Amino acid sequence: MRRRNWLAIQVEVIAGADSPLWPRPGRLFAVARSHSFAEFGAAVDQALARWDLPKPAQFVLADGVRVEDTELTKMGELNQDDQFAYVFDGSWAHLCTVIERPFDPRKTRLGGVPELPTPYWGWGALPDQHGLRWPKDDGQKPGPRQPAQPYDDLPPLLPGWGGQ
């Protein structure tokens, strides 16, 4: 593994379901220049808790070029400070920025060199892909009632749970 063959890419979620997000959640990724845009997109989706796959996704480079074949097009031509957009499911917009090139993934919390693009740091609350707030949320009914005391609704498996 040669350090110059890796990038650190910051991904910020700009909007979800056509609504702007603030503060913007994000993740940092270790990405080899030999990885494809499809591999990077899959890593982003997994790191941002996307569960309804596959959905249409596209990458738009700073010069307006759209990456047409994400399976074959590699990340290799990106340079320090390059920015591009990743759009998932038509309405989830992300700003991607190369924050470090060359980059050494061994100096992260990964503990080694990953085989695929891999997140190594993150921040912010991730909204649900479909805006769901509890398991049976249909968008119509009010949510479950909050217990009078935190953790009262839980089984007594840990201290403080279940009214202990």
Tokens of 74: 């590699």
Q: Are 13 and 92 in contact (CB under 8 A)?
A: yes
The one-letter code for the residue type at 49 is A
Domain boundaries, the chain: 3-123, 132-164
pTM: 0.87
CATH superfamily of 3-123: MM3350-like (3.10.290.30)
- pLDDT, tens digit, 9 for 90 and up, residues 53-112: 777 789 999 999 999 899 999 999 899 999 999 998 888 999 999 999 989 999 888 888
